[in-house]
Structures are given as structure tokens and as C-alpha cells.
């Protein structure tokens, strides 16, 4: 009852200067809309760029590396245990790249609750034979289905169907750059030579475009079986186990754990791609800073208008106080005015922000390096809308707080006597 009275007074004061109120509200609308648009767009772009690498990179990769043994025979000899042993010209021994006992490792990983999925992989160095010329290349032998599920393989297959890789024996999906160099079309048969000199004919069933051109000139994909055949290895031969975790943040710790547990080399995504995280973070930071600056500027607009309104309404405030409205009532009246501007402008801002985002989402954006992207990327995360709404209320409240306090402190005697 009493509050509704204060509300109705606020409303009348607001509507009495509706054009000014509108300007203030438009300020809020504009800033909120820009805040939403900016963040949606920035984050969309961030996700896109991160996705370029992060989506396709396993959180933890287990592999073997050819390297010199860290422990030399002399270290085992008790007599020289407490000596410094210098062994010069140590060479790595001819170790296989295969992960030993990989079936057991995979089984163990599958039972680990932290693991989202596993995709085994073989990396094979090859030469693509084009007439008299050999081009160096890498064939990744993959489990097509697992690779697609975990690393969105099909997104990067720009021509042909990715599943043909599994269904067609002796097939290959060529990197776009490599295919252009070799002048092949889908359906053609190409010849590759392994580093050990074995030759094999492979049928091209598609092109692959990762967005990283250097990679596309070199990399190709084949199924695990085809690659094992190419290398002349048994069907248990696997060089990499790619692990995707439920939570990317535990990747570094998990990588170390697996390294010790399975006695293999491991690398985690954060170590491998730390620069991406930094880039994303800085871009987000800039977007937030700009958005919040816009809101604060809008807040000053509201502050100004309320101050003017209070100056203008001195008489009314004085008489309200003389007839029994307390300072608190007057305070509430002006806070309500500020908040209504905030709520009205903020809501419109959210709607416009969504509209602008949707509009940007429709703008064509074609670039050779990003085959799957047709329009500008937008992230419609509700988080931005919540932040925008909360922040518009906070800024308008703050903008209303000081003028309201001033209004509540107006001494009616001074105003009334001043006439």
C-alpha cells in the first residue's frame, strides 16, 4: 500500500520527463546491447580459434619416443654407484615406437572415470609418389569412429564422406594442400612409400582441411588397419593413445600419472598449447573491460539526468517532506526511478544484444583456413545475458543512489523559505 504509493509517485515523476528518461534508458540499452554483442562475438571467435587446435588435440597423448636411455649399464654396477660416470657419444637404441601392451592400457583407461573417450592412433612417415617426385608426408592411422566422436573428424573432411575411410579398404583422406600438389581427384589411386621402402596403393576417398595450411600439405588420414598394413605391422601395433578427459583442467596431472603408470611418454594439452589459453583470456578480458566501460558511461548518464530531475523537483520534494514523507520515502522514489530506467533500458538492451548477435551470426564469413565456418561465429552463452542484466541493475542503482541520497537530505525549510 505505502510502497505502491511511492511507486505511483515515481512513475508520475518519470513520465513527466519521459523524453529525458528515454534518453537515459537508451544509453543503458545501447551499452547493454553492445556488451552482449561484443562478448558473444568475441567469445564465439575465441571458441572458434581455440577449437582449431583444442578440439582436435587430445587432452593427454601417450606415445613412445626414440631417445637415448637415461640409465646406462654402468649405473647398475654397484662399485661405481657413488661415482660420477661420464659416458660420451650415447646413441638411442633401435627402439620401436609401438606402445607395448596397448590393449591392456586401453582397457585400463576405459575404466577410468575421468576419461571421456580414447582414440588409438598410428603416425607413419611416408612419401607421396607423384611421378618422379616424392613428397614427404605423414599418414595418421585412426580409429575413424572414435576420432570423429572425440575430435570432430568429419568437420574437417571437406570433400567425400569420412566414413568411407573405414568402409573402403586401402583408402586415404588426403590433406587439401597435399591433394592440390598431387593433382588428384576423389576416386584416384595414389602411391605412397614408407620410410622402410615399402610401397602401397591407396584410394583417395576425401579431402581433409584443418585450417592450418602447413599441416594440410603434409597430413593425410587412413584407417588403423590400412596403416598397419602399410607399415607391415601386426594388428596390435599402435603408436599413440589419445585420451580425452571430462575435465580439461586435470590434464597436466593426469598426464604425469599415466606416464608413470604405463611407463610411456605423455604430453597434455595445456603444456602443448599454452599460448592459446593466454590469447583467449586476454581477448575475453578486453571484451569485458570495454563492455563494463560502456555500462559505466551509461551510469553517468543516468546520474546526470537524476541530478537534474532532483534539481528540477526541489519544490515537489520539499512539499512531500513537509506533508509527511520521510527522507527514506523520497530516497525510495528516486531509487525506483533509477531502477526503472535500468530495468527498462536493460531489458531492451538484452533483446537488442540478442538481435545484433543473431545478425552478425548471419553475416557470411568465408576463409580458406576455416572450412567449416560459413558465418561469423557467435557464442550465445546465457552467462553474458545474466552478467549484462545484473550489471545494468547495479550501475543504475549506483547512479541513482547518490542523487537519491541528496534528494532525501533536502531540507524543506530552505526550499520553502527561499521563495
Partner 1 sequence: MSKLIIETKNISKFFHDPMTMQVLKDINMNVTQGEFVSVIGRSGCGKSTLLYILSTMDTDYDGELFIDGVSMKKRKESELALIRNEKIGFVFQFHYLLNEFNVLKNVMLPGLKLGKYSNKEVEARAYEKLKILGIENEALKMPNQLSGGQKQRVAIARSLINDPLIIMGDEPTGNLDKKNGDIVFNIFQELSSVYNQALLIVTHDNEFASKTNRIIEMEDGKII
Q: Choose which of 304, 327, 376, 381 interacts with partner 1 (CB under 8 A).
A: 327
Give the binding range for partner 1 (CB under 8 A) out of 172-180, 259-267, 320-328, 374-382: 320-328
Quick check: 244 binds partner 1 (CB under 8 A)?
no
Sequence-distant (≥ 6) Cβ neighbours of residue 113 within 8 angstroms: none
Quick check: 5 binds partner 1 (CB under 8 A)?
yes
Distance in angstroms (rounded) separating the CA atoms of residues 174 and 190: 10
Shortest separation between residue 30's beta carbon and partner 1, angstroms: 28
Quick check: 417 binds partner 1 (CB under 8 A)?
yes
List the grid coordinates of 344: 527498462
Shortest separation between residue 339's beta carbon and partner 1, angstroms: 19
Name residues contacting partner 1, limited to 328-347 (CB under 8 A). 328-329
Contact 360, 37 (CB under 8 A): yes
Give the binding range for partner 1 (CB under 8 A) out of 52-60, 142-150, 277-285, 311-319: 311-319
Least Cα distance to 123 among 144, 110, 109, 138 occurs for 138
Name residues contacting partner 1, limited to 155-194 (CB under 8 A). none
Give the binding range for partner 1 (CB under 8 A) out of 73-81, 84-92, 335-343, 406-414: 406-414
Nearer of residues 196 and 419 to partner 1, judged by Cβ: 419
Distance in angstroms (rounded) separating the CA atoms of residues 249 and 246: 9
Shortest separation between residue 363's beta carbon and partner 1, angstroms: 46
Name residues contacting partner 1, limited to 15-34 (CB under 8 A). 15-16
Shortest separation between residue 305's beta carbon and partner 1, angstroms: 16
Between strands 199-208 and 157-160, the pairing is antiparallel
Quick check: 277 binds partner 1 (CB under 8 A)?
no
Distance in angstroms (rounded) separating the CA atoms of residues 222 and 162: 10
User: Which CA distances in Å does 262 have to 105, 130, 220, 229, 270?
Assistant: 7, 41, 29, 26, 21
Shortest separation between residue 316's beta carbon and partner 1, angstroms: 5
Quick check: 413 binds partner 1 (CB under 8 A)?
yes
Quick check: 358 binds partner 1 (CB under 8 A)?
no
Residues in the interface with partner 1 (CB under 8 A) total 28
Nearer of residues 93 and 419 to partner 1, judged by Cβ: 419
Nearer of residues 219 and 331 to partner 1, judged by Cβ: 331
Shortest separation between residue 323's beta carbon and partner 1, angstroms: 4
First to last CA, the chain: 33
User: Which CA distances in Å does 329 have to 253, 316, 321?
Assistant: 58, 13, 9
Nearer of residues 2 and 93 to partner 1, judged by Cβ: 2
Shortest separation between residue 8's beta carbon and partner 1, angstroms: 8
Distance in angstroms (rounded) separating the CA atoms of residues 335 and 332: 5
Shortest separation between residue 308's beta carbon and partner 1, angstroms: 16
Shortest separation between residue 322's beta carbon and partner 1, angstroms: 5
Residue where the block lists cell 562475438 = 41
Quick check: 2 binds partner 1 (CB under 8 A)?
yes
Residue 322's region, left for phi above 0, alpha for psi from -120 to 50, else beta, is: alpha
Distance in angstroms (rounded) separating the CA atoms of residues 338 and 335: 5
Least Cα distance to 156 among 380, 372, 303 occurs for 372
Q: Which residues of 87-115 are buried (b: 16+ CB within 10 A; e: fewer)?
A: eeeeeeeeeebbbeebeebbeebeeeebb
- By CB under 8 A, name the binding residues for partner 1: 1-2, 5, 9, 12-13, 15-16, 315-316, 318-329, 411-413, 416-417, 419
Amino acid at each position: 500500500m505505502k510502497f505502491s504509493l511511492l511507486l505511483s509517485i515515481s512513475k508520475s515523476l518519470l513520465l513527466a520527463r519521459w523524453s529525458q528518461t528515454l534518453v537515459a534508458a537508451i544509453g543503458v540499452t545501447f551499452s547493454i546491447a553492445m556488451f552482449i554483442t561484443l562478448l558473444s562475438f568475441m567469445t564465439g571467435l575465441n571458441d572458434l580459434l581455440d577449437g582449431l587446435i583444442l578440439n582436435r588435440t587430445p587432452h593427454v597423448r601417450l606415445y613412445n619416443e626414440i631417445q637415448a636411455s637415461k640409465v646406462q649399464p654402468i649405473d647398475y654396477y654397484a662399485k661405481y654407484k657413488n661415482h660420477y660416470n661420464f659416458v660420451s657419444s650415447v646413441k638411442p637404441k633401435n627402439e620401436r615406437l609401438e606402445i607395448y601392451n596397448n590393449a591392456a592400457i586401453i582397457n585400463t583407461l576405459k575404466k577410468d572415470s575421468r576419461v571421456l573417450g580414447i582414440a588409438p592412433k598410428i603416425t607413419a612417415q611416408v612419401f607421396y609418389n607423384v611421378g618422379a617426385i616424392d613428397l614427404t608426408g605423414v599418414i595418421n592411422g585412426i580409429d575413424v569412429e572414435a576420432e570423429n566422436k572425440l575430435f570432430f573428424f568429419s568437420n574437417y573432411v571437406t570433400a567425400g564422406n569420412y566414413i568411407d575411410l573405414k568402409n573402403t579398404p586401402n583408402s586415404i583422406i588426403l590433406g587439401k594442400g597435399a591433394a592440390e600438389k598431387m593433382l588428384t581427384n576423389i576416386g584416384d589411386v595414389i602411391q605412397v612409400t614408407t620410410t622402410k621402402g615399402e610401397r602401397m596403393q591407396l584410394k583417395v576417398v576425401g579431402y581433409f582441411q584443418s585450417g592450418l595450411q602447413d599441416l594440410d600439405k603434409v597430413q593425410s588420414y587412413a584407417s588403423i588397419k590400412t596403416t598397419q598394413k602399410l607399415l607391415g605391422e601386426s594388428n596390435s601395433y599402435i603408436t599413440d593413445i589419445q585420451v580425452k578427459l571430462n575435465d580439461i583442467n586435470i590434464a597436466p596431472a593426469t598426464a604425469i600419472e599415466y606416464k608413470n603408470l604405463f611407463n610411456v611418454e605423455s604430453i597434455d594439452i595445456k603444456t602443448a598449447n599454452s599460448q592459446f589459453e593466454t590469447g583467449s583470456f586476454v581477448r575475453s578480458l578486453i571484451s569485458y573491460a570495454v563492455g563494463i566501460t560502456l555500462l559505466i558511461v551509461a551510469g553517468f548518464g543516468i546520474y546526470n539526468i537524476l541530478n537534474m530531475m532532483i534539481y528540477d523537483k526541489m519544490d515537489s520534494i520539499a512539499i512531500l517532506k513537509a506533508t509527511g514523507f520521510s527522507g527514506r520515502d523520497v530516497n525510495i522514489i528516486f531509487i525506483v526511478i533509477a531502477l526503472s530506467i535500468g530495468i527498462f533500458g536493460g531489458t531492451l538492451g538484452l533483446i537488442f544484444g540478442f538481435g545484433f548477435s543473431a545478425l552478425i551470426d548471419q553475416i557470411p564469413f568465408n576463409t580458406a583456413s576455416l572450412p567449416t565456418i560459413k558465418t561469423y561465429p557467435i557464442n550465445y552463452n546465457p552467462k553474458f545475458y545474466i552478467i549484462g542484466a545484473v550489471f545494468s541493475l547495479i550501475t543504475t542503482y549506483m547512479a541513482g543512489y547518490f542523487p537519491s541520497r541528496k534528494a532525501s537530505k533536502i531540507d524543506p525549510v530552505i526550499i520553502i523559505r527561499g521563495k
